[in-house]
Amino acid sequence: MKRLPVFPLALCCTLLLHAPALSAEKMLPAPQKDGGPSVLAAIEHRSSAPGDAFPMGAISDEELATLLWAATGRNREGKGWTVPTDMGKAPYCSVYVIGANGIFLYDKEKHALHQIGATDIRAEAAKQDFGKKAPYTLVFVADDRAVARYNKEWGPTLVGAMTQNIYLAAQALGIGARYAANLNEALLRKALKLEPEERPVCIVPLGHF
């Protein structure tokens, strides 16, 4: 019988201590709610960041928190949503964050990130060069189960409203954003551990000017 190699206990403990571990939850700082240009000025000047010169500056935790807060529409202090929903129910869309430290699901109720993977998949998730190097990329996933009795296109409609919120908040923060529907769906489905009824609609790479 072939004997398996025996490693010293100290080495085994070292390997365990340095093995990548998934963080259960990361609370985000409070979003920024003042400062910046007026809403009308943000509407006037908002635009997609250029693909051939995409901004690569780092994004702070507070800025990321502000963008996610703006995206989901849960930003009226418990008075409802500011994106299209079904009779006040939570939006039928999930927002994931992918970056150098892995893959995270945004919890809009707790304003927190739940890590679901430790792999950096930015380069594989995006098919455009600018998306492969962006500091963060948001992935918008529609849940067709939640709107089965209505119309499955309500999911992409909701995503459209959420990404417009992203553009406005990004303009106020001096952050570049670019909507991209050309994504690696097969890889995202596996990495994000999606159900068959959940579908990635778009990605939005982000970077500071």
Domain residue spans of the chain: 55-208
Residue-level pLDDT, tens digit, the chain, 209 residues: 444 444 344 434 333 344 445 557 999 999 888 887 887 888 888 889 998 899 999 999 999 999 999 887 665 555 555 555 554 455 578 999 999 999 999 998 889 999 999 999 999 998 888 888 899 999 999 988 877 667 777 778 888 888 998 999 999 999 999 999 999 999 999 999 999 999 999 999 999 99
Retrieve residue 13's tokens. 């403990």
Whether the model clears a pTM of 0.85, i.e. scores above it, the answer is: no
Burial 42-68 (b: 16+ CB within 10 A, else e): beeebeebeeeebbeeebeeebbbbbb
The CATH architecture one would assign to domain 55-208 is 3-Layer(aba) Sandwich (3.40)
Q: How many CB atoms lie within 10 A of CB 98?
A: 27
Cβ contact 140:203 at 8 Å: yes
> 54 CB contacts (<8 Å, ≥6 apart)?
130, 133, 134, 176, 178, 205, 207
Sheet holding 198-208, edge to edge: 26-27, 112-117, 102-107, 93-99, 136-143, 198-208, 175-177
